[in-house]
Amino acid sequence: MKRFLPKQRKMPKPGDRYGRWILVKYLGKMQRHITYLARCDCGTESEVVVKHLRRGHSTGCRKCSTVEERNNQWNGGVKLNRGYKMVRQKDHPRCNWGGYVFEHILVMEKVVGRHLTRVESVHHKNGVKTDNRPENLEL
């Protein structure tokens, strides 16, 4: 008899972070889905299906997700952080908890053809933080 064997995956554990969610406590399985009590960065607690978090279906409580979605619609996934442009790129090694990376880092990485290390920083030659043309950036 052939049986479908799911691939062995790392089990989620309390303290794991997915977007704004931090897993608090294992609640059990609901319709074969691993369900956790999770706390959003804003303090809201909710039951979550870990699979949905892994796929990025939920990045925070309803209140926070709504705000983020609205922002994304307004500016196409680009937002400002301390005057710098940030681009949504979830699987980037330098992305923050919200899945955003500084755009000037992405531009410089394209120029040098590799990922930048944590100690490297990118300077804006003309001092304009949103001017991310390659010729305005230097390592």
The yes or no reply on residue 40 touching Zn ion (CB under 5 A) is yes
Neighbouring residues of 19: CB distance < 8 A, sequence distance ≥ 6: 53, 56, 58, 59, 60, 97, 98, 99
53 touching Zn ion, by CB under 5 A: no
Residue 88: CA atoms inside 13 Å, Cβ hemisphere, count? 14
When the beta carbons of 69 and 120 are compared against Zn ion, the nearer one is: 69
CA distance 15 to 26: 11
Interface residue with Zn ion among 27, 30, 42, 112 (CB under 5 A) is: 42
Asked if 44 interacts with Zn ion (CB under 5 A), we say: yes
CA within 13 Å, CB half, 1: 1
Q: Can residue 64 be called a binding residue for Zn ion (CB under 5 A)?
A: yes
Q: How far is the CB of 46 from Zn ion (least distance, A)?
A: 9
Is residue 106 near Zn ion by the rule CB under 5 A? no
Provide the binding-site residues for Zn ion, judged by CB under 5 A: 40, 42, 44, 60-61, 64
